[in-house]
Amino acid sequence: MSSSPLLSRQLFYDGKPQPASSGKTFQSINPSNAAPLAEIPVASQSDVDAAIAAADRAFPSWSQTPPIARSRILQKAASLLRERNDEIARVESLDSGKAFTETSTVDVVTGADVLEYYANLVGGGGLNGETTQLREDAWVFTKKAPLGVCAGIGAWNYPIQIALWKSAPCLAAGNTMVYKPSEFTSLHAQTLAEIYLEAGLPAGVFNVIYGAGDVGGYLTSHPTIEKVSFTGQVSTGMKVAGSAAGNMKYVTMELGGKSPVIILPDADLENAVNGAMMANFYSTGQVCTNGTRVFVHASKKSAFEQRLLEKMQHVRAGPLFDEATNFGPLSSAAHLEKVTAYIRHGIETDKAKLLYGGLGKPQVSNDLENGFWVRPTVFTDCTDDMRIVKEEIFGPVMSILYYQTVEEAVKRANTTELGLAAGVFTKDLNMAHRIIDQLQAGITWVNTWGESPAEMAVGGWKNSGMGVENGRRGIEAWVKNKSTLVDMCGEVPTVFAKL
Ligand code: NDP
């Protein structure tokens, strides 16, 4: 166990760290060795009320600040994030268990990119409305108005990235936010609030509270909250969306997936294997868009499996800050239990053929023995009815399914209630487009997997979500429309005239 002093965190609202009145705390744990990292205060209902009140007070002035001025502040925050990349990434690794090789190159960077993107978008007229000439003496113009105080609720897999993907368009559009990170990965939130403040964000525009689902539930159902942006599991999302929609709040839901990768017989084998591995083992499989159902043409079975097995040797578990490590532990003890239960179910009940990995831990040094490690695992010859094939595991567990015809593969790929992501590997681009067109998912890739740049609007179909984040479309989720008809003819047409 590490004997490092515990990090300290506080609630953050009204432009400063604030004590919590609940008297309760929870621990943040380093998933690689189970050592406590920080004692985090739980927000009481009156703390949540106070954070929402701060956001409400800040809204009139922030929403009236010209977009170009808001843009300058957000650009500055993006620069500060980049300057402090390694320092922030270090804490993200400790908190989430992801290897520093990942957090230092992806997590902060892709968050800062989105902040810069929306700062540029609103600074460059991205909130402008439309003008429509109706007739010679009448026109319609539209305005995009901010919504008000918004709630952001984050999952634990990409902590600071999720906080930025929500707060960047929210603040750029002129809203204010109260953000609750997952209790498993809360450390980034105060740092982000401090960076926003340092960049010039007025007090109360971005606020942070901590706690578990009950705190999230109180926040998202609060009458002052105008919009809920949620990232998490389908079951939680359904509850939160139901309560928000019932109270006429705007919602964006980024939920889970069980995404298919279809590998055609003509695909570049090397590329397809690399894609399938990135789609299953990056971030130890804790990625919402993971392509966990890998459909391979039956004629390529032995070639695909052989190359995959060779490459599995390159999945390297180890100390989080070791340059060679590209595979960390799972994020929590509870999640380890869940993923292990799925692997056990795959072996014992589904009776899937275990090609690689399985139960137990990968080899790690003694000081990491207590961490939440699981082996990267591949099941092959899977069938559509297996539980490991049907349910989101959210861990490093690949299921390979063989198919004979493209029609069959597409049909089976679509046989799920989820529709987050999908992809195809082939050299035939016409065929790729035809397949992509038929796949029921909001995020699709051709001959690659996983890249999600600021410019790309992403969101799930079916039970995987509602609305999108990022891209030009993403800003629309944070504004409401006002249409005005202006008539200059000087006479109101009326039916109430003398006969
Ligand atoms: P959860 O649904 O368990 O939790 C998500 C967040 O909601 C957490 O902050 C949680 O708090 C909070 N919460 C729990 N209950 C409530 C409630 N009743 N009201 C309001 N908030 C509540 O998801 P996980 O954290 O386990 O995240 C993993 C899931 O997220 C996976 O299914 C994954 O696919 C999905 N995900 C989707 C993404 C996408 O863009 N589509 C991206 C990343 C992840 P706490 O944890 O503190 O209890």
Mean pLDDT of the residues in the chain = 97
Nearest partner of 292 among 375, 409, 388, judged by Cα: 388
Of the chain, the percentage scoring pLDDT greater than 70 comes to 99
The CB of 218 under 6 Å from ligand 1? The reply is: no
The amino acid at 324: A
- Residue 248's contacts (CB-CB under 8 Å, 6 or more residues apart) are none
pLDDT tens-digit readout, 313-342 = 999 999 999 999 999 999 999 999 999 999
For residue 438 the two structure tokens come to: 């038929």
Whether 3 has a pLDDT exceeding 90, the answer reads no
pTM of the model: 0.97
Residue ranges of domains in the chain: 4-255+464-483, 260-446
pLDDT tens-digit readout, 111-122 = 999 999 999 999
Whether 292 has a pLDDT exceeding 90, the answer reads yes
The CB of 26 under 6 Å from ligand 1? The reply is: no
Whether 2 has a pLDDT exceeding 90, the answer reads no
Cα gap 438→422, rounded to integer Å: 10
| 392 in active site | no
Cα gap 217→4, rounded to integer Å: 34
Select 260-446's CATH number: 3.40.309.10, 3.40.190.10, 3.40.50.300, 3.30.499.10.
3.40.309.10
For residue 78, the model assigns a pLDDT of 98
The b/e string for 452-476 (b: 16+ C-beta within 10 A; e otherwise) is bebeebbbbbbbbbbbbbbbeebbb
Q: Is 3.40.605.10 the CATH classification of the domain at 4-255+464-483? A: yes
- Helix, strand, coil share of the chain (percent; to 5): 40, 20, 35
Is 141 in contact with 486 (CB distance < 8 Å)?
yes
- Residue 64's contacts (CB-CB under 8 Å, 6 or more residues apart) are 174
The rounded Å distance from CA 293 to ligand 1 centre is 22
The rounded Å distance from CA 287 to ligand 1 centre is 12
pLDDT tens-digit readout, 137-192 = 999 999 999 999 999 999 999 999 999 999 999 999 999 999 999 999 999 999 99
Nearest partner of 45 among 237, 239, 211, judged by Cα: 211
The rounded Å distance from CA 308 to ligand 1 centre is 31
Whether 255 has a pLDDT exceeding 80, the answer reads yes
> CA of 286: how far to CAs of 50, 187, 290, 327, 374, in Å?
34, 18, 8, 11, 12
What would the mean pLDDT of 183-211 be, rounded to a whole number? Answer: 98
The CB of 175 under 6 Å from ligand 1? The reply is: no
Is 149 in contact with 52 (CB distance < 8 Å)?
yes
What would the mean pLDDT of 363-373 be, rounded to a whole number? Answer: 97
Task: Select which of 254, 305, 392, 469 is catalytic.
Answer: 254
For a ligand 1 pocket test, name from 24, 156, 210, 239 the mutation site with the most ligand atoms within 8 angstroms of its C-beta: 156
The CB of 156 under 6 Å from ligand 1? The reply is: yes
For residue 118, the model assigns a pLDDT of 98
pLDDT tens-digit readout, 60-113 = 999 999 999 999 999 999 999 999 999 999 999 999 999 999 999 999 999 999
The rounded Å distance from CA 233 to ligand 1 centre is 5
pLDDT tens-digit readout, 405-430 = 999 999 999 999 999 999 999 999 99
What would the mean pLDDT of 222-231 be, rounded to a whole number? Answer: 98
The CB of 394 under 6 Å from ligand 1? The reply is: yes
pLDDT tier for residue 5 given thresholds of 50, 70 and 90: confident
For residue 1, the model assigns a pLDDT of 43
